[in-house]
Structure 1
Amino acid sequence: MAENKIFAGPRVRRIRNGLQLTQTAMAEALGISPSYLNLIERNQRPLTVQLLLKLASVYRVDLDELQGETGGSLPQLREVFADPLLAAELPGDQELIEVTEAAPNVAGGVVKLYRAYREQALRLKDLADLLAGQGHMAALSDTRLPIDEVREAFEGRPHHFARIEEAMEAFHTSLSPGDDLVSALKTWLKKEHGLAVRALPVHVMPNLRRRFDRHSMRLFVSERLSPFDQTREIAMEVASIAGHEAIVAELDQFRFSTAEARRIGRFELARYAAHALMMPYAAFHAAAQRARYDIDVLKARFQVSFEQAATRLTMLQRSGAPGIPFFLMEIDNAGNRLRRMGAQAFPHARFGGACPKLNIHAAFAVPGQILVDRVEVPDGGAFLVIARTIDGPQAGFQERVRRTALLIGCDAAFADDTIYGAARIPAVPVGPACRLCERQGCLARAEPPVTRPLGLDEMATGLSVFDFQ
C-alpha cells in the first residue's frame, strides 16, 4: 500500500524560524542538503518517515504538529467566512485549507480579528439600545442585510395598517364566505382569475410552502402545512390580488433602500393582509373582548391556529376601536429571534425580550402548554406574558419537528381584562438583556453588563460568574 505523502513545508519553516536557525544549520543537523530543505519548505518535496523521526529526535517536535494542524483553525475560519459579509467571497473550503496549511498563524490572527469585530459590534448595538431607551438616537451605522432593515422597520412601529384592514374587511364582506372561507377563496380565484388551487404531496414539492405556476394558472400548496397554514397561503394569494393597491400604499411609506428589502416588506404586508382577511377586524375585535382575549377560544371561533390568533391580537389598534395593545415575539430553541411586533411597536427599551428568565424559554420543556407570568422590569414596570410552543410544517420520517416558542404580552395594567390575568402569581424580575441589565445576584445572568465594570474581588465571590461593581 502506498503511504500518504506529507507536505508540511510551512510548518517546518515555522519550526526553523522559531528556533532562529538558518536553512544551512537545520539541513546539517538533519543530514540533508540546504537545497533539499528549501524544496521541502516550499512544499515541492514531501517529508519522508526518516526526516519526520529525525525532526522529532533532534528538535523534540511533536509529530502530530507536522501531520495535522488544520483541524483546529479550519472550523473557526469556516465560521468567519459564513458571516453574511464574507459568505460570497469563497466558493468552497479549498482556499481556507490552503491558508491554514501555509499560514496557520495568519489564520489564527484572522479568527481573533473577527471575534474582536463581533464583540465590538455587539457592544455598539447594546449601547445604541441603551441610548435609545434613554431617548437618545445613536448615530451608529453598520452593514445590514435587507431582512434586518425590514425587521427594524416593522418592529419599530405599531403593527397596524389601516388601509389594508379596510380593504380586507370590505373584500370579506363582498365575498360573503359564511362558514367556509377556504371554499369561497378558491371559488373567487377560479372565477375571477382562472386560478385553480391544488395541494401537492411532499415528494412533489419538498422544499416550498406555496408556488404559483403562471403557465398552468395553478396555485400549489404543500401538504406539509396544517389546514390553518394552507388557508393562510391561499389567503395571501387572494390578498395580494384583491388588496394590491392598499399593500403598495403601505409599502411606499417605508422607503426601503433596496429592491430586496422592498420585496421582503411586500411579503410581510401580504401575510398581514391574509390575517386581516381570515379574521376581519370588527368581528375579531368583538369576539376578543367577549372571550376576554382567550386565544384558544378565538382560534376555535375563527378556525385558525394559536399562532395566527395570537398574531392577530397584536393588530387591534384601529382608531376608535382599539383592543389591548399586545406585543409578540417568536424564538427557536437556540434563542434566535425570528420576529417581534407590537400593537404600539415592540417595547425594546423596557421589556427587551432577551432575558433568560422569561417563560418563552421554559415553554420548550412543556410543548403545547400555555405558561402565564407577570414580569417586572428594572424601571418598575410590569407585564403580563403568555408563552407557548408552536410546531412548524409536518415533519417526515426521521426529520425533526420545527418547533418554536411564541410569547405574547401586554402591560400589566390590562391583565384583568384578559382571561390570563386571573392567575395571581408573584412577579418575576427580568431585564431587557444581560448586557443591559444591572440586577445584582441574578442566577440566570449569561453576560456582564456593558454599563458596569466587572468586580474582581478575590476575597468574595457572588452568585454569578459575571459579578460587577
Structure 2
Amino acid sequence: MAERKIFAGPKVRRIRNALSLTQTAMAEALEISPSYLNLIERNQRPLTVQLLLKLAAVYRVDLEELRGQTGGSLGQLKEVFADPLLSGELPGDQELVEVAEAAPNAASGMIKLYRAYSEQAARLSDLTALMAAEGHAPVAAGRLPLDEVRETLERRSAYFARIETAAEAFAATLSGGLDLAAGLKDWLRAERGIAVRVLPVHVMPDLRRRFDRHSMRLFISERLSQADRAHEIAIEAATLALLPAIDAELDDLSLSSAEARRIARFELARVAALALAMPYEAFLSAAKSTRYDIDILRARFGVSFGHAAARLAMLQRPGAAAIPFFLIEIDTAGHRLRRVGAQGFPQARFGGGCPKLNIHAAFLQPGQILAETVVMPDGASFLTIARTLEGPSVEFGERIRRTAILIGCDAAVGEGLVYGQATALDPVAVGPACRLCERRGCLSRAEPPVTRPLALDEMVAGLSAFDFQ
C-alpha cells in the first residue's frame, strides 16, 4: 500500500517562524535547498520520511503533530459552520480544511467568537424561559421587544392616518377652547367619571401619572410642568377615547410578541396625545405661517419645545404635508432615546451618531437653540436645530434630568424656515458615525472606521485619535 503523502507546509512555516529562522537557515539545518523548503511551506511538495525524521531530530518536533489532520480545530470549525446562521456560506469543507491548516490562530479565534455567541444566546434563552415562568411574554427572535418597537417605528413614517383622523374628530368635541387640559378634564369627568388630581412629591415620589381604577381618579405629579401635565392627561384620554384607532395602527406594525405590542401601544398613545394637543390642520397652518418657528408654536399651543418639535415630524398627510422633518433625542451620556422621521428616520443618509452634531453642543448651552447646516461625506446636506429639554422638577440635592433634541431636514428645503439663515454659513463636515465615517484628521473621532485598516506608524501621529490607511 502506498504511503499517504503528508502536506504540512503551514505547520513547518509556523515552526520556523517560532524559532525566528530564515528559510535559508532552516534549509541548511535540514540539508535541503531553500527553494525546496519554500515549496514545502507552500504545500507544493510533501514531507518525506527522511525529512520528518530530520525535523524531529533537529527541532524536537512531534511527528504526530505533523502527520495528523487539522484535528480538533477542523471539527470545531465544522460545528461553527453547521449553525443555521452560517450553514449556507460554504459549498463544502475544503475551505475549512485550508483555514484550519493555513491559519490555525485565526481558526481558533473564530471558534472562540462562536462559543461566546453561543453562550450569550444560551443566556438569552434562559432569560426568556425565566420571564415566561414568571408570566411575562418571551423575548422574540433573540431581540428585546423594546428594540423591535424602536426599529419598527424608525423605519416607517411618523404619520398615523387613523390616529390623526380620530384625534381631530375627538378634539372638536372638547370644551375649554385652547386650554387642552381643561377640556380633557371635563371630558374625563363627564364621560368616564374620572377626576384629575395633582399630587405632591411626597405622596407620589416616583411616578408621573397613575390611574386608580377603584377611586376613578387620575393622579398627576406636581413635578411636571403645565405642558407636561396636559400631555399626561391627553395620553390617558387618548388611551380611552382613541383605542380603536390606536389598535388599528398597532396591527399594521406586525410586531412579533404581546410585550412588543404593549410597548408600541404606549408609544402610539403618546402620538395620539400630541395629535390632540396640536390638531393637524391648525398646527400645519400655524407652522407654515410662522416659518416653522418651534418656540412660537409651543407658546401658541401651550406645549413644550419637545412636543412641538415631535409634532412637526408627524405632519405628512397626503395632500397636506409639511416639510419632512426627522428627530433624535439623546441624554447627556449620548444614549439614543428616540429617533423618528416624517418619512422614516434617514439612517443611511444621516446616521445621527456623529459627535460633531450640534445636539451634543446643546448641553453646553442649556435652553439655547442651535441651528447649523451639516454636510455628509457623500455630499448630502441637512439643516439641524438642536436644544436641550428639561425633565421634571427636582427636590434640592437631586440631579436634574436633561436631554437634548435635534430636529432636521434636507438643507435644500430648510431655507424657507426661520432657521434658514444657518444655511448661508459654512456647513459642518460630519459623518453617519465614527465606525462608518472615513473623514481623515477628524478631531472628534472616537472610534476607527471599520472600512479601513489602522495606520500604525511609530514615526507619525495624526490629528485624529485613530489614524487609518
Q: Same fold by TM-score, threshold 0.5 exceeded?
A: yes
Distance 2:114 2:215 in 1: 49
Distance 1:113 1:188 in 2: 58
Other structure's SS at 1:419 match: coil
Other structure's SS at 1:431 match: coil
Match of 1:184 in 2: 183
Distance 1:376 1:224 in 2: 40
Q: What letter corresponds to residue 322 of structure 2 in structure 1?
A: G
Provide structure 1 residue ranges, at least 5 long, that are not aligned to the other structure: 1-111, 122-140
Match of 2:460 in 1: 460
Match of 1:105 in 2: none
Match of 1:442 in 2: 442
Provide Cα deviations, 1:20-73, integer angstroms capped at 9, x if missing partner.
xxxxxxxxxxxxxxxxxxxxxxxxxxxxxxxxxxxxxxxxxxxxxxxxxxxxxx
* 1:176 Cα deviation after fit: 4.4
Q: 1:154 to 1:371 in 2, by over 3 A?
A: same
Query: Where do 4+ consecutive residues of structure 1 move more than 4 Å?
Result: 112-118
Distance 2:425 2:395 in 1: 40
Distance 1:391 1:167 in 2: 30
Distance 1:373 1:114 in 2: 45
Other structure's SS at 2:207 match: coil
Residues 227-376 of structure 1: matches in 2 within 5 Å? 227-376=226-375
Contact kept in structure 1, 2:374 and 2:381, CA below 8 Å: yes
Other structure's SS at 2:415 match: helix
Distance 1:296 1:175 in 2: 25
Distance 2:378 2:174 in 1: 49
Distance 2:142 2:447 in 1: 25
Provide Cα deviations, 1:126-159, integer angstroms capped at 9, x if missing partner.
xxxxxxxxxxxxxxx9732111011001111110
Match of 1:380 in 2: 379
* 1:179 Cα deviation after fit: 2.5
Paired positions, count: 338
Distance 1:225 1:464 in 2: 43
Residues 381-420 of structure 1: matches in 2 within 5 Å? 381-420=380-419
Match of 1:432 in 2: 432
Distance 1:186 1:174 in 2: 13
Distance 1:142 1:448 in 2: 31
* 1:241 Cα deviation after fit: 1.2
Distance 1:409 1:310 in 2: 10
Percent identical residues = 67
Provide Cα deviations, 1:280-323, integer angstroms capped at 9, x if missing partner.
00000000000000000100110111011001000000010000
Which region of structure 1 is more displaced relative to structure 2, 251-260 or 376-385? 251-260
The two structures, once aligned, show a CA RMSD in angstroms of 2.0
Match of 1:219 in 2: 218
Provide Cα deviations, 1:383-423, integer angstroms capped at 9, x if missing partner.
00001001101111100000000101000011111000023
Residues 72-91 of structure 1: matches in 2 within 5 Å? none
Q: What letter corresponds to residue 446 of structure 1 in structure 2?
A: A
Q: What letter corresponds to residue 395 of structure 1 in structure 2?
A: V
* 1:114 Cα deviation after fit: 12
Q: 1:351 to 1:219 in 2, by over 3 A?
A: same
Contact kept in structure 1, 2:156 and 2:343, CA below 8 Å: yes
Contact kept in structure 1, 2:443 and 2:465, CA below 8 Å: no
Distance 2:257 2:372 in 1: 40
- Give the structure with higher Rg (CA): 2
* 1:220 Cα deviation after fit: 0.6
Distance 2:419 2:244 in 1: 38
Provide Cα deviations, 1:336-356, integer angstroms capped at 9, x if missing partner.
110000001111111111100
Match of 1:164 in 2: 163
Contact kept in structure 1, 2:178 and 2:301, CA below 8 Å: no
* 1:465 Cα deviation after fit: 2.5
Contact kept in structure 1, 2:158 and 2:342, CA below 8 Å: yes
Distance 1:361 1:466 in 2: 21
Distance 2:387 2:318 in 1: 30
Residues 193-212 of structure 1: matches in 2 within 5 Å? 193-212=192-211
Q: What letter corresponds to residue 337 of structure 1 in structure 2?
A: R
Other structure's SS at 1:219 match: strand
* 1:460 Cα deviation after fit: 2.2
TM-score under structure 1 length normalisation = 0.70
Distance 2:413 2:216 in 1: 48
Which region of structure 1 is more displaced relative to structure 2, 165-174 or 176-185? 176-185
Q: What letter corresponds to residue 167 of structure 1 in structure 2?
A: A
Other structure's SS at 2:168 match: helix
* 1:183 Cα deviation after fit: 1.2
Q: What letter corresponds to residue 448 of structure 1 in structure 2?
A: P
Q: What letter corresponds to residue 244 of structure 1 in structure 2?
A: L
Q: 1:116 to 1:413 in 2, by over 3 A?
A: farther
Q: 1:461 to 1:208 in 2, by over 3 A?
A: same
* 1:180 Cα deviation after fit: 2.0
Distance 1:412 1:202 in 2: 44
Distance 1:115 1:463 in 2: 38
Contact kept in structure 1, 2:161 and 2:317, CA below 8 Å: yes
